[in-house]
Amino acid sequence: MDDQNIKVDRMRYSKNTQSSRLALLAIVLDVLFFVSIYKYVCKDTTRSDEFYYTALMGASILYNLVFMLAAFLSSEGVKNYKTNFSYVMFVLAAIQIARIFIYPVKAHSQPGLMSDFQFIRLIVYLVASALCLVAGALINLGKSRALAAHTASLEAGKA
Amino acid sequence: MAELSLKHIDKIYDNNVQAVFDFNLDVKDGELIVLVGPSGCGKSTTLRMVAGLEDISKGTLTLDGRDITQTPAKDRDMAMVFQNYALYGHMTIYENMAFSLTLRKEDPNVIHKKVLAAAEILDLTTQLNKKPSQLSGGQRQRVAMGRSIVRSPKVFLFDEPLSNLDAKLRSATRREIILLHKRLNATMLYVTHDQTEALTLADRIVCMSMGHVQQIGTPLELYLHPDNIFVASFIGLPPMNIFDVAVKDGALVGKGFTVQLTPEQKATLAPYNNKEISLGVRPEDISEGGDMVMDVTTNENLGMNTLVHGHLASNRITAKLKGWTDYRDGDQVRISFGRMHFFDKQTTQAIRKDGKAK
């Protein structure tokens, strides 16, 4: 067995921690995002255009919960080289990018509600979170396909 | 190549309790030495001193001529297998076996090759992705052995590795250790209190009692020529029958029985004429038919043999008779002794052919 084959063979007994950790990092970045946005949006509760008490905010909180759960399950899935979870991670990444245009852009467009620095920080969190998900998904796709091919060749060898 | 030498090793604890007295042993390359003795005899302490887990109070320990008396455990190039397996429950079998090499930051590909090779030897290939809790006791012990094998140590140390297993599994794992030793041809030190393990595994046995070495020899030497009453009683199952007898006019006279001696035995015991000695007879050296009468108390059928317990006059006696017998309490059986062992009553040492106690 050459070094490349050994590297693939090792995957039979080791977890895909790289993809898994990237998914967990995506969760951390998302937490940073939503903790930050609530902080910045809720500065003045007396304002008539306050974001805090809207249905959108409720939906945002719910989505954060769903995101964390889905990303965590994906992290566990890709740890075991499950291909399907890569696609879940792609979808989550796409939604993270879409979220930029919901709260951050809306809040930033209202005068005095969110500074440029705060706006950029939120975008960085969401983009970084999406990038982590995409990277984790791509790594998992590559590894799981290589492992599947290797396992198939081993099975063929046995037969 | 791994030759281990222990010279005048003592172990004295801080509270001045001495656990090991003047232990001397030369272990040849590829030899399997079994340290055997009852609980508290110092065998595990000796093993732990060899491993570097206990300080050596006095004496020197050398490995291939290099003095390692003060060398830390991690630098001794020895691997130890413990009674309780000492596996990491949260890691898979693969990770458990690879762990020590991972800590040493060895190349992952090299680690992989070594783990797979060890798993192949121990028939664990299909278990590598499981956690220790999913394996049986025997399999866990094999994993513990595998973890030692991957390190390719110079010396393997086993501290009662089969004690946690049931009788059937113990027997199977014992056979695996024999095969493993043959396959690796490695130097091994094995501690057990089970004399069956000692007899079946060892190239040489070190029999210990109260911190002292009682005898070192091959299993057959210890069985046929025990140096003293302790070794005679400890090695062999059931233990040897010991009787107090007097040497009188070419015969051994015990309480309620007399045994005639052969000319050779007479010569051996000539210096003990009209003196008391201890007579040892193994249960398997007692056969039916003869002058002595044994009063039976219990009868244990083992299949091919029967253990018959009872009294020879006032002496307790156990005989291992051939075949299936059905004696009952109160029955009388005529018996005779085959091979006999003589021990000096004062020193408990064996009396050899020259008539001297060893």
Quick one: closest CA in A to B111, which residue? A10
Q: In the predicted model, is pLDDT for residue B68 greater than 70?
A: yes
Q: What superfamily would CATH give domain B238-344? A: Nucleic acid-binding proteins (2.40.50.140)
Structure confidence by residue, pLDDT tens digits, A57-66 = 788 889 999 9
Tell me what ipTM this predicted complex has.
0.73
Q: Which CATH architecture has domain B4-233?
A: 3-Layer(aba) Sandwich (3.40)
Q: What is the pLDDT of residue B307?
A: 96
Q: What is the pLDDT of residue B180?
A: 87
Q: What is the pLDDT of residue A159?
A: 65
Angle among Cα B116, B119, B122 to the nearest 5 degrees reads 155
Q: For B152-173, what is the mean pLDDT?
A: 88
Q: Does B94 touch chain A (CB under 8 A)?
A: yes
Residue linked to tokens 């060398």 = B71
To the nearest whole Å, the CA of B108 is away from the closest chain A CA by 8
Where along chain B do the CATH 3.40.50.300 domains lie?
4-233
Using a CB-CB distance cutoff of 8 angstroms, which residues of chain A are in contact with residue B129?
12-13
Q: Does A154 touch chain B (CB under 8 A)?
A: no
> What is the spatial distance between Cα A152 and Cα B173, in angstroms, rounded to a whole number?
34
Q: Does B129 touch chain A (CB under 8 A)?
A: yes
> What is the spatial distance between Cα A15 and Cα A10, in angstroms, rounded to a whole number?
9
Q: For B31-56, what is the mean pLDDT?
A: 95
Q: What is the pLDDT of residue B84?
A: 87
- Are B312 and B235 in contact, with CB atoms under 8 Å apart? no
Structure confidence by residue, pLDDT tens digits, B188-227 = 999 999 999 999 999 999 999 999 999 999 999 999 999 9
Q: In the predicted model, is pLDDT for residue A52 greater than 70?
A: no
Residue linked to tokens 């015990």 = B254
- Mean pLDDT taken over chain B: 93
- Nearest CB to B94 within list A3, A6, A13: A13
Task: State both tokens at B255.
Answer: 């309480």
Q: What is the pLDDT of residue B171?
A: 87
Structure confidence by residue, pLDDT tens digits, A53-109 = 567 778 888 999 999 999 999 999 999 999 999 999 999 999 999 999 988 888 888
Query: pTM (2 decimals)?
Result: 0.80
Q: In the predicted model, is pLDDT for residue A40 greater than 60?
A: no
- Mean pLDDT taken over chain A: 88
Q: pLDDT band for B357, please (50, 70, 90 cuts).
A: low
Q: Does B113 touch chain A (CB under 8 A)?
A: yes
- Nearest CB to A9 within list B92, B95, B112: B112
Distances (CA, A) of B343 to A48, B149, B242, B295: 107, 44, 9, 25
Q: What is the pLDDT of residue B101?
A: 93
